[in-house]
Structure 1
Amino acid sequence: MKLTATAVKEAKPKSKAYKLSDGGGLYLAVQANGAKYWRYKFRFTGKEKLLALGVYPKVSLKDARAKHRDAQDLLEAGIDPTMQKQLNKLAALTAAENSFKAVALEWFEGQKRIWAEGHSGKVDRMMTKDLFPYLGNRPIKEITSPELLAVLRRIESRGAREAAKRTKQIAGQIFRYGVATGRCERDPSQDLNGALAPNITKHRAAVTNPKEVGPLLNALDGYQGTAVVNAALRLAPLTFVRPGELRQAKWADIDFDKAEWRFFVTKTHVEHIVPLSTQAMAILRDLYPLTCNSEYIFPSARALSRPMSDNAVLAAMRRMGIEKNEMSGHGFRAMARTILDEELHFRADYIEHQLAHNVRDAHGRAYNRTAHLPERKKMMQAWSDYLDNLKAQAKTNNVVTAQFR
């Protein structure tokens, strides 16, 4: 006699497990603890076998019968249903391991070891917000160019053209990792060159006119906030490193005897040396007694174990009335690049090396961190002296003549 939904629901546990048959080898196994399991007993190549079809009530009577029919169809085709179930599980496991998300996270784990914390966070948010919700569970080898483009179009629709471009780049790196590890055959992002709306280039604000530099630097010197931020504001133009490199600078990387700051540039993957002028060294020596208990030269005001906020320098400039269209954290790099070339006439390769740009020699090799170091030491001291001269001019409104080369 066939089971009914009511009979299945009302089946009560007994002192021992028992079975309620639905016919054709399908039955409900009721355990002494009240658990109910669907089972299908059949014979294959003369041997009795048992196939688990699920747990009630997650699998209803109707669902169990559908699974039962599928198993019977396999038997008629000469296929063992239990073996097929194992193969399906293996296929599902393999698909999960080869999903876009799984490959992306594997790639990310390898890359974040050499990335700055801030960059790792940005990539993580980019994947979590814009890629995983739409591509995460898809087998990476099945993702097509139009499918990826649709995801990027969603980002563009927010007006975030630059984010769409960066997301495409990240997706491309994930696909290429998938190719390298045998999970997919090609990178579909390569088909999308020219498919996204072009970016509207926005140059970071920078003061590059020498007549305007002196008043700006005098304003920075006079910042009335914390000593840590004041020191960062004064050191930024002297070293013209990237804002993230400045705020994450560590005391262990400063060689006081050689007057050098050595660190790894995550953006270009090279070791870098910043020769420190006498003015820069004076700032560091004054700051050392205040922050030497932290590994960071410019620790957070809330915790010595963390560097200061990436917004600390910008916020300080804004409080002083320096607007965002006048000067940015990156602006000191543009200032140095322009004036060292046009006013002080230092060689372009010295400047590019000091900016930690990815300069290559005639053989395509990235520059050695010690390249032109004696010349760069002279350049950095000349730069600091020149800035002092501009500040003096701004205070007195007189032209001060000095020899910087």
Structure 2
Amino acid sequence: MALNDITLRSLKPDAKPYRKSDGGGLFIEVRPTGSKLWRLAYRFDGKQKLLAFGQYPDVSLARAREKRQEAKALLADGIDPTAKAKADKQERLAVSEHTFRKIAAELIDKLRKEGKAETTLSKKEWLFDMANRDFGDRPIREIDAPMILATLRKVEAAGNYESAKRLRSTIGQVFRYAVATARASNDPTYALRGALIAPTVKHMAAATSRDDFKAVVQAIWAYDSGAPATRAALKLLALLYPRPGELRLALWPEFDLESKVWTIPTARAKMRREHVKPLSPLAVEILKLLKAETGSESRVFPSSIARDKPISENTLNQALRRMGFEKDQHTSHGFRASASSLLNESGLWHEDAIEAELGHIGSNEVRRAYHRARYWDERVRMADWWASQITQFAQA
């Protein structure tokens, strides 16, 4: 017997759910909570299925019957109404939920959980902000290559060719993640390869001849301006030649001054693996003096402006500028090239020992462990020899 609104309104909840049919597979299900839910029973490919139409009275009797007819029309065309409803829901989500901004934020969260360095994530977030300003709130499926190119051209027009290149790559990372999670069908940045002006590769300026590097060391040891953390960081860059970010962000628990070892944690090491470096007696002495001067309990190189933050790379480079070294002569990152050049030039050390000390030895776990074990003693001797060279340069 067909239902009517009077009957529907009079239906009362019972201890168990019960149903009242309207015919043609359409029925209302009354729950113990009092909710009244529209359902359509139908068969597709020989299987019994149920399709939900919503709750009465939000979905009226007339609308429920319209939905029944729409479902019957789909069945007549060989289409499963449940599959169609799911596809429609995904399409709605693609418009309202699956925006570039939300998927980019989700990717950042995934990378953070995977242990990517905060400096790396900050750079990605900065690049995402550029993209978000233009199309962050658009559904990712609606974003195409011309739309992305228009954003890249803005960055390129300002002369920031390297940033434009990185932005294209980072946007592509979001699309590939969206494809992998079934929210996009392709990566439109692939079609943009070759569309941008290729940036000129610029290597970090470094003093790589013995005389030039001696001049840098002499200037650093004679430098009496700036904060203690800045002066100590410059000396340790010369002695240990780590990446500037690895040094600037260092925390005291990473240093075992008794054992003369510095352990750079995975989260901060560029190669995403723990990197252990031997400390020469001179490096230990500098660290002990620094701790006595700063009194810091956590950061080795605290900023003089905000003690809970580290000194910046710009602080180190500006100190080099004040010593008279232009940015095309030597930089804080250049100490790595200086050490690599002079250590290899000496002919005293195995090239793999030098590469291991620089943190370059390959990605294979067995190979890394082999090189660390085989060359550790040589790296300790090399650290002491290098410190003696630095001392000679400083006193010359």
Fold equivalence (TM over 0.5): yes
Letter in 2 for 1:239: L
Q: Deviations over 1:38-94 (max 9, x none)?
A: xxxxxxxxx996799xxxxxxxxxxxxxxxxxxx9xx799669xxxxxx98885444
Distance 1:187 1:293, change over 3 A: same
SS of aligned partner of 2:119: helix
CA contact (8 A) 1:96 1:102 kept: no
What is the alpha-carbon distance in structure 2 between the residues aligned to residue 274 and residue 190 of structure 1?
40
CA contact (8 A) 2:228 2:294 kept: no
Letter in 2 for 1:247: R
What is the alpha-carbon distance in structure 1 between the residues aligned to residue 249 and residue 372 of structure 2?
22
CA contact (8 A) 2:218 2:393 kept: no
CA contact (8 A) 1:318 1:324 kept: yes
Write the mapping of 1:36-115 to structure 2, written as runs, cut at 5 A. Answer: 91-112=91-112, 114-115=115-116
Write the mapping of 1:1-400 to structure 2, written as runs, cut at 5 A. Answer: 91-112=91-112, 114-129=115-130, 131-225=131-225, 226-263=227-264, 264=266, 265-357=268-360, 359-360=362-363, 367-368=368-369, 370-371=372-373, 372-392=375-395, 395=396
What is the alpha-carbon distance in structure 2 between the residues aligned to residue 290 and residue 158 of structure 1?
44
What is the alpha-carbon distance in structure 1 between the residues aligned to residue 234 and residue 338 of structure 2?
14
Q: Which stretch of the first structure deviates more once superposed, 256-265 or 185-194?
A: 185-194
How many residues matched? 323
CA contact (8 A) 1:176 1:186 kept: yes
What is the alpha-carbon distance in structure 2 between the residues aligned to residue 274 and residue 305 of structure 1?
25
Q: Which stretch of the first structure deviates more once superposed, 367-376 or 162-171?
A: 367-376
What is the alpha-carbon distance in structure 1 between the residues aligned to residue 96 and residue 294 of structure 2?
48
What is the alpha-carbon distance in structure 1 between the residues aligned to residue 141 and residue 90 of structure 2?
17
Identity among equivalent pairs (%): 33
What is the alpha-carbon distance in structure 2 between the residues aligned to residue 261 and residue 296 of structure 1?
14
User: Unaligned regions of 5+ residues in structure 2, if any?
Assistant: 1-54, 72-86
What is the alpha-carbon distance in structure 2 between the residues aligned to residue 112 and residue 231 of structure 1?
31
What is the alpha-carbon distance in structure 2 between the residues aligned to residue 386 and residue 375 of structure 1?
16
CA contact (8 A) 2:206 2:335 kept: yes
User: Unaligned regions of 5+ residues in structure 1, if any?
Assistant: 1-46, 53-71, 81-86, 396-405
Distance 1:348 1:150, change over 3 A: farther
Residue 333 of structure 1, CA deviation: 0.6
CA contact (8 A) 2:172 2:188 kept: yes
SS of aligned partner of 1:270: coil
Distance 1:51 1:106, change over 3 A: same
Q: Deviations over 1:272-295 (max 9, x none)?
A: 011111111110111122234331
SS of aligned partner of 2:355: helix
What is the alpha-carbon distance in structure 2 between the residues aligned to residue 297 and residue 279 of structure 1?
16
Q: Which stretch of the first structure deviates more once superposed, 282-291 or 109-118?
A: 109-118
Tell me which residue corresponds to 1:31: none
CA contact (8 A) 2:296 2:302 kept: no
Distance 1:162 1:49, change over 3 A: same
Higher helix share: 2
Q: Deviations over 1:81-112 (max 9, x none)?
A: xxxxxx98885444332111111000012223
What is the alpha-carbon distance in structure 2 between the residues aligned to residue 195 and residue 183 of structure 1?
26
Residue 315 of structure 1, CA deviation: 1.6
CA contact (8 A) 2:94 2:140 kept: no
TM-score by length of structure 1 reads: 0.71
CA RMSD of aligned residues (A): 3.3
TM-score by length of structure 2 reads: 0.72
